[in-house]
């Protein structure tokens, strides 16, 4: 589903953010991408969302070469990718239901679709009873659940989570990770960028390690790998 | 664009206008003032044009015969006028005819002439109405015929009409320059308002991008916001001019008898065709500037 061959990303004339990345992610996988800050995790995710273009190499998503994407095709790519953020990025002026519905509304979904799909997403993240609360009336963990529901509501093929537990305490982090795992079991590919060692070790999933822009390890049922 | 999206854009635009409060009011006000000035000039122009037409249709030189002129003088005068090669038309108007004409012009106010009806009381004089072949010859011929025998008084409107035209010409240019400046201000203010909206909504815009909203889906609400500001800015001066002009026409008709004015419906119809598109154009232009510069999609 996602293929990278000899992928490079360079900033300016001398900063090599990613070097010679070779990585294949299949449909239905759960994969951790780990590494210290500046290792290249964010750059990798931005390439997947086509916020950035690769400098060299091949990057195929859903079988299509992203370097050949026209700008106007990008929104349609992103409709197949659900994004979960470290800082939740909820809109504080509207309730949980509307935050989730927003993701459908802005891609032109009908009211009927919204009324059908938002409750399903809420059920998935177990927040049905909080649908009409504003984000600031929720705990951090609940807010991130809303974030996950928003990423899911459009039924994307892939969910990408960028440090989803970075702002949460360990117990809540475990909850969120369990939720992502559950989503994965239902068939969605999940990519989690993180440096939460305990979680990575606990879940025993595929782990890809980045360091200084190089992919230094890729193991099934891996643990958080620190070269130093 | 789907209908439900259209409603979404409109809703977002209206919310923004309400939220931006005074910035919206300022944008609308400047558009309104700009278009009000333009509208007023158009109204003035239409009426000056009508007035000019009226004057052109009227005789160019009126020559009043001296009450004390002898029959010989009158005959000589007629001969000189008829043979004058710059004159295209020479028409004798008796005082009775002049009286009837005045009565007709006054219409329902002809009661003003009561008591002057019989021959002896008629205050008007016999006259000639002269039309030159070339309008520019009017002053020259006017001066010349003053010295013809039996002439009491010569009236050639140029002394009044020319400065009037000169005046409206100057006013028009000053107004155009002023209006140009205001139009730029209006575009700037709308652009600034939209920029504010883009700033307030930056988080929303970011999320929209991540969940796959198309660029135009993101842009439309801002364009709509500018368009609505421009539209309201155009409707306000139309209303003001409608009611203002209506009372002006009424006042003119009851106080200044001889000036005819274009009816208010006709004027507004013309203004609608110009002011509404212009207001919308100012709005779209202003919002496009900000969407292009500050909305990175």
ipTM: 0.89
Q: Which pLDDT score, from 0 to 100, does residue A228 have?
A: 43
The average pLDDT across B13-42 equals: 88
What is the predicted pLDDT for the residue at B59?
Answer: 54
For the stretch B162-194, pLDDT in tens is 666 667 677 778 877 887 888 888 888 888 888
Q: At which of B135, B156, B177 does a domain end? A: B156
Radius of gyration of chain A (CA): 18
pLDDT of A146 > 90? The answer is: yes
- Could you list the residue range(s) of the whole structural domain that residue B147 is in? 61-156
Same domain, B33 and B166: yes
What pLDDT does residue A150 have? 96
Cα atoms found within 13 Å of the Cα of residue A150, Cβ hemisphere only? 33
The verdict on a CB contact (< 8 Å) between A78 and B210 is: yes
Q: What is the domain range of residue A135?
A: 91-155
CA distance A116 to B86: 90
Structure tokens at B199: 């700033």
Instruction: Quote the number of domains for chain B.
Output: 2
Chain B nearest-CA distance from A34, in A, is 22
Q: Are residues B222 and B175 in the same domain?
A: yes
Residue A189 confidence (pLDDT): 97
Query: To the nearest whole percent, how much of chain B has pLDDT over 70?
Result: 91
Whether chain A has a CB inside 8 Å of the CB on B88: the answer is no
Chain B residues touching A49 at Cβ < 8 A: 210
Give residue A37's pLDDT band: very low, low, confident or very high (50, 70, 90): confident
Task: Choose among B142, B179, B133: nearest CA to B162.
Answer: B142
Residue in chain A closest to B3 (alpha carbons) equals A108
- Backbone angles phi and psi of B292, in degrees to 5: -70, -40
What is the per-residue pLDDT for A226? 57
Return the residue of A nearest to B216 by Cα: A72
Exposure string (b/e) for B190-200, b if CB count within 10 Å is 16 or more? bbbbbbbbbee
Whether A195 is in a domain gets the answer no
Residue A119 lies in a domain: yes
Smallest Cα distance from B15 to chain A, Å: 12
Nearest to B213 among A77, A107, A150 (CB): A107
**Whether residues B85 and B148 fall in one domain:** yes
pLDDT over threshold 90, residue A78: yes
Q: Which of A219-223, B95-99, B156-160, B219-223 has the lowest mean pLDDT?
A: B156-160
How many folded domains does chain A comprise? 1
Q: How far apart are CA B139 and CA B135, in angstroms?
A: 9
Of B104, B139, B156, which residue sits at a domain end?
B156
- What pLDDT is stored for residue B58 in this prediction? 60
Are residues B94 and B201 both part of a single domain? no
Encode burial over B104-139: b for 16+ CB neighbours within 10 A, e otherwise. Answer: eeeeeeeeeeeeeeeeeeeebebbbbbbbeeeebbe
Interface of B with A in 185-204 (CB under 8 A): 203-204
Assign A29 a pLDDT band (cuts: 50, 70, 90): very high
CA distance to A17, A37, B100, B150, per residue, from A84 (Å)? 22, 18, 91, 103
Would you call A75 and B207 a contact, using CB atoms and an 8 Å cutoff?
no
Cβ–Cβ gap B211/A89 under 8 Å: no
H/E element, A118: helix A111-124
The two beta strands, A158-162 and A189-194, are parallel
SS3 letters across chain B: CCHHHHHHHHHHHHHHHHHHCHHHHHHHHHHHHHHHHHHHHHHHHHHHHHHHHHHHHCCCEEEEECCCCCHHHHHHHHHHHHHCCCEEEEEEECHHHHHHHHHHHHHHHHHHHCCCCCHHHCCCCCEEEEEECCHHHHHHHHHHHCCCCCEEEEEECHHHHHHHHHHHHHHHHHHHHHHHHHHHHHHHHHHHHHHHHHHHCHHHHHHHHHCCCCHHHHHHHHHHHHHHHHHHHHHHHHHHHHHHHHHHHHHHHHHCCCCCCCCHHHHHHHHHHHHHHHHHHHHHHHHHHHHHHHCCC
Same domain for B22 and B169, yes or no, is: yes
How confident is the model at residue A77, as a pLDDT?
92
Does B25 have pLDDT greater than 60?
A: yes
Question: How far, in Å, CA of A7 to CA of A66, rounded?
Answer: 12
Residue B56: per-residue pLDDT: 59
Quick check: is A139 in a domain? yes
Residues A157 and A27: beta-carbon distance below 8 Å = yes
In chain B, the residue whose alpha carbon lies closest to the alpha carbon of A151 is B211
pLDDT beyond 60 at A142: yes
pLDDT per position as a tens digit, A149-195: 999 999 999 999 999 999 999 999 999 999 999 999 999 999 999 98
Which three-class secondary structure state does DSSP give residue A19?
strand
Helix (H, G, I), strand (E, B) or coil at A67: helix
Contacts of B152 (CB under 8 A, 6+ apart): B64, B65, B66, B67, B69, B125
Per DSSP, the three-state class of A107 is coil
Same domain (yes/no): B23, B40: yes
Say if residue B281's pLDDT is above 60.
yes
Residue with tokens 């989690």: A192
B contacts of A105 (beta carbons < 8 Å): 8
**Within a domain: residue A205?**
no
How many angstroms separate the CA atoms of A178 and A182, rounded? 6
**Spatial separation of the C-alpha atoms in residues B231 and B239, rounded to whole Å:** 13
User: Has residue A99 been placed in a domain?
Assistant: yes
User: What is the CB neighbour count within 10 angstroms for residue B214?
Assistant: 20
In chain A the first and final C-alpha atoms are separated, in Å, by 32
The overall average pLDDT reported for chain A is 92
The distance of Cα B270 from the centroid of its chain, to the nearest Å, equals 10
| Contact criterion met (CB < 8 Å) for A78 and B214 | no
Instruction: Tell me, yes or no, whether A6 lies in a domain.
Output: no
Q: Are residues B178 and B280 in the same domain?
A: yes
Of B207, B212, B214, which is closest to A89 when you measure between CB atoms?
B207
């Amino acid at each position: 589903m996602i293929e990278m061959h000899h992928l490079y990303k360079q900033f300016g004339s001398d900063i090599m953010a990613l070097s010679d990345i070779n990585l294949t992610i299949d449909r239905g996988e759960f994969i951790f991408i780990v590494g210290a800050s500046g290792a290249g995790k964010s750059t990798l995710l931005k390439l997947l969302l086509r916020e950035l273009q690769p400098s060299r190499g091949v990057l195929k998503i859903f079988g299509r070469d992203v370097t050949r994407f026209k700008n106007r095709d990008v929104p349609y790519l992103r409709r197949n990718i659900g994004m979960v953020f470290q800082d939740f990025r909820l809109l504080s002026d509207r309730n949980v239901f509307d935050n989730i519905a927003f993701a459908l509304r802005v891609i032109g979904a009908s009211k009927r679709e919204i009324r059908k799909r938002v409750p399903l997403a809420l059920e998935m993240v177990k927040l049905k009873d909080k649908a009409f609360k504003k984000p600031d009336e929720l705990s951090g963990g609940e807010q991130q659940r809303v974030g996950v529901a928003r990423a899911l509501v459009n039924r994307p093929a892939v969910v990408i989570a960028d440090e989803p537990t970075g702002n949460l305490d360990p117990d809540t982090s475990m909850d969120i990770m369990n939720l992502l795992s559950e989503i994965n079991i239902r068939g969605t590919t999940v990519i989690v960028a993180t440096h939460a060692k305990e979680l990575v070790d606990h879940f025993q999933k595929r782990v890809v390690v980045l360091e200084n822009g190089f992919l230094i390890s890729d193991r099934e049922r891996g643990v958080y790998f620190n070269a130093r | 664009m789907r209908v439900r999206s259209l409603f979404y854009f409109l809703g977002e635009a209206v919310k923004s206008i309400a939220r931006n409060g005074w910035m919206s009011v300022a944008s609308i006000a400047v558009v309104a003032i700009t278009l009000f000035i333009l509208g007023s000039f158009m109204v003035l122009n239409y009426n000056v044009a009508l007035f000019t037409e009226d004057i052109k249709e009227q005789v160019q030189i009126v020559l009043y015969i001296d009450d004390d002129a002898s029959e010989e003088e009158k005959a000589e005068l007629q001969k000189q006028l008829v043979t004058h090669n710059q004159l295209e038309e020479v028409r004798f108007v008796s005082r009775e005819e002049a009286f009837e004409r005045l009565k007709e012009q006054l219409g329902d106010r002809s009661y003003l002439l009561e008591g002057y009806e019989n021959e002896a009381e008629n205050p008007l004089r016999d006259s000639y109405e002269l039309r030159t072949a070339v309008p520019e010859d009017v002053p020259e011929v006017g001066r010349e015929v003053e010295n013809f025998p039996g002439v009491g008084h010569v009236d050639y409107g140029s002394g009044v009409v020319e400065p009037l035209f000169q005046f409206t010409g100057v006013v028009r240019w000053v107004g155009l320059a002023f209006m140009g400046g205001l139009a730029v201000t209006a575009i700037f203010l709308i652009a600034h308002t939209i920029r504010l909206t883009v700033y307030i909504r930056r988080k929303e815009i970011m999320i929209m991008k991540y969940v796959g909203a198309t660029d135009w889906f993101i842009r439309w609400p801002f364009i709509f916001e500018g368009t609505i500001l421009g539209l309201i800015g155009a409707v306000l001066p139309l209303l003001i001019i409608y009611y203002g002009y209506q009372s002006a026409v009424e006042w003119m008709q009851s106080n200044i008898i001889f000036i005819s004015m274009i009816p208010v419906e006709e004027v507004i119809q013309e203004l609608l065709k110009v002011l509404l598109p212009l207001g919308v154009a100012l709005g779209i232009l202003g919002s496009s500037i900000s969407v292009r510069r500050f909305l990175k999609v």
